[in-house]
A and B are shown apart, each in its own frame.
Chain A
């Protein structure tokens, strides 16, 4: 299997390279590819959680029932609202904080460290902190609201408020991810660009829109895409916070998959919902690959 003009040394190199790669390929294959393929297989069957070793072939019935049902579409809308709002807020907050932290002032490095904290704290803890602060009776938010405005809101028990709470928690936890990526990029922008623009008479605002934003554009896009994927497909945060919310008002696709598979016991249907999550991911990935070239193949 020699390539044209290949010497035996190069052939040996290729073989060593492939041999080194093989164990990880095997692992990834077994632990990731096979489950994904098996998931597709499951979508065409009825599998009960009480009898998991007895799949019954049902062809496209799962897909038809899912797409004809109301739950999928309303959860999709919920997911889009939740994802879009959260990511937008994270981008704005992350950008603002990154711009601020790019300046000089005493204690700046300490603040940079502090800003990372929400991202590092386990999601369970962040959600619990939120549940504590948003508790209708004992939470500090309602306590403050009652003192100042005489009202209290059922933050996790009323449909609109629950969604707002989920968005807020997601933003607080994950905006540091945006911030640190943007800050890193900001620090590579040469100050002479700004100086030259200043000499040419540019205002601060013009400097921002004509230098800063274009330089940040690609990082912002990547970060936005990643956060979109991870928010859309995330199970943990909403499940612990509201378990799908009052009357499924905060249920997004991962929770629907879980509910179908483990509450209703219909694994095949859960797998079907998961397939749609994968389709969304795939679309995002294609978008990412088209616009950027993460492997540096085209140059």
Chain B
């Protein structure tokens, strides 16, 4: 194959891959901007004849979307720092100290990361019923912290492992206490890790569906995934709401992604590879 042909094949493949990923998204975006008459047709055209925003406007005016949005943001904003605060000392302890059972505990973290949500959810449902906290914000936050802790601890542990012990030891030789070494050396170095972990946890909470489905009944407490899932009723689907809500839920993630791409990729690899 000639060089030009090879190059052409590369670009063709690149375009095919990009289309494979982007077509569903772009199609949904275009559909969300079409008037109802053009969405609900057996053979629609690709581009809208005119762009309308009324699906988005109706989404905010006639549905509880804003409430769902607020509930999801609230859950994320509370669960994420809580998770980090609990996970950080644990990760630090697991990587800087030696004691019996340390590896056992680390292994347990890995295991609990993979626990199926229903295995947690069903007993939690009963426990929360006993405690009378079903259908409250607390139930959601608690379960979200429970379900994000293992991954956060594992991720932070990996980040701490990558910070050489020698740095702190050098500082301590120079007379710093352990606490000073922690604050002046480890914390600044692990900031990217903490941020990655925080973003990951927030995204996990943002996307979470199953536990919210189990614990939340009231309309006013529903988070985004549960709320918009209800747009698909048993009979006629309200496509206008569905399409615009997909875009409204996806676009913040896409924006966020553009800004934190590097941190996220680092986060993925921590989960997928050893140590």
| Interface positions of A (Cβ within 8 A of B) | 13-14, 16-18, 20-21, 23-25, 27-28, 31-32, 34-36, 38-39, 42, 47, 52-53, 97, 100, 103, 105, 107-108, 111, 113-118, 120-125, 128-133, 135, 137-138, 140, 143, 146-147, 172, 177, 180-181, 184-185, 219, 222-223, 226, 229-230, 233-236, 240, 254, 257-258, 261-262, 267, 270-271, 274-275, 277-278, 281, 284-285, 289, 292, 294-297
Give residues of chain B (132-185) contacting chain A, Cβ–Cβ below 8 Å.
142-143, 145-146, 149-150, 153, 178
Q: Scan B27-40; emit 1 where CB is below 8 A from any A CB, else 0.
A: 11001000000011
A181 touches B103 (CB 8 A): no
Nearest Cβ in chain B — how far from A219, in angstroms? 6
What is the number of residues of chain B that contact chain A, defined by CB distance less than 8 Å? 95
B274 touches A184 (CB 8 A): no
Nearest Cβ in chain A — how far from B243, in angstroms? 7
B269 touches A47 (CB 8 A): no
Nearest Cβ in chain B — how far from A179, in angstroms? 10
A261 touches B122 (CB 8 A): yes
Q: Which of A132, A143, A177, A297 neighbours the largest number of chain B CB atoms within 10 Å of its CB?
A: A132
**Of B118, B129, B130, B229, which one neighbours A277 at CB under 8 angstroms?**
B118
**Of A133, A230, A284, which one neighbours B27 at CB under 8 angstroms?**
A133
**Of B92, B117, B122, which one neighbours A270 at CB under 8 angstroms?**
B122
Q: Scan B207-231; emit 1 where CB is below 8 A from any A CB, else 0.
A: 1011000100000000011001100
A20 touches B90 (CB 8 A): yes
Interface stretch of the complex, out of B48-56, B59-67, B190-198, B246-254: B246-254
Contacts of B27 in A (CB 8 A): 132-133, 140
Contacts of A285 in B (CB 8 A): 110-111, 114
B145 touches A181 (CB 8 A): no
- Name B146's closest neighbour in chain A (CB-CB): A31
A24 touches B86 (CB 8 A): yes
Contacts of B117 in A (CB 8 A): 233, 235, 254
**Of A25, A137, A181, which one neighbours B272 at CB under 8 angstroms?**
A181
Q: Does B123 contact A (CB under 8 A)?
A: yes
**Of B44, B120, B249, which one neighbours A35 at CB under 8 angstroms?**
B120
Nearest Cβ in chain B — how far from A5, in angstroms? 14
- Name A255's closest neighbour in chain B (CB-CB): B118
Contacts of A133 in B (CB 8 A): 24, 27-28
Complex Cα–Cα for A194 and B200 (A): 36
A14 touches B107 (CB 8 A): no
Complex Cα–Cα for A53 and B39 (A): 49
Q: List 14 A-B contacts (CB under 8 A).
A: A14-B97, A18-B93, A21-B93, A24-B87, A97-B17, A111-B14, A113-B261, A115-B21, A128-B242, A143-B42, A271-B122, A274-B116, A278-B119, A285-B110
A257 touches B89 (CB 8 A): no
Q: Does B187 contact A (CB under 8 A)?
A: no
Contacts of A258 in B (CB 8 A): 118
Contacts of B24 in A (CB 8 A): 129-130, 133, 172
- Nearest 10 CB-CB pairs, A to B? A17-B97, A31-B146, A24-B90, A233-B116, A20-B93, A181-B272, A38-B123, A35-B123, A122-B207, A21-B93
Complex Cα–Cα for A277 and B265 (A): 30
Contacts of B228 in A (CB 8 A): 124, 128
| Interface positions of B (Cβ within 8 A of A) | 7, 10-11, 13-14, 17-18, 21-22, 24-25, 27-28, 31, 39-44, 86-87, 89-90, 92-94, 96-99, 103, 105-112, 114-120, 122-127, 129-130, 142-143, 145-146, 149-150, 153, 178, 203, 206-207, 209-210, 214, 224-225, 228-229, 232, 237, 239, 242-243, 245-246, 249-250, 253-254, 257, 261, 264-265, 268-269, 271-275
Complex Cα–Cα for A278 and B129 (A): 23
**Of B22, B150, B269, which one neighbours A180 at CB under 8 angstroms?**
B269
A52 touches B249 (CB 8 A): no
Given contacts A13-B97, A24-B87, A122-B225, 5 further A-B contacts (CB under 8 A): A129-B28, A132-B246, A143-B44, A180-B269, A278-B115
Question: If A14-B97, A180-B269 touch, does A123 touch B122 (CB 8 Å cutoff)?
Answer: no
B122 touches A100 (CB 8 A): no
Contacts of A100 in B (CB 8 A): 13-14, 17
- Name B96's closest neighbour in chain A (CB-CB): A17
B246 touches A17 (CB 8 A): no
Question: If A117-B254, A121-B253, A123-B207 touch, does A42 touch B123 (CB 8 Å cutoff)?
Answer: yes
**Of B41, B210, B254, which one neighbours A138 at CB under 8 angstroms?**
B41
Complex Cα–Cα for A39 and B10 (A): 53
**Of A38, A117, A137, A143, which one neighbours B126 at CB under 8 angstroms?**
A38
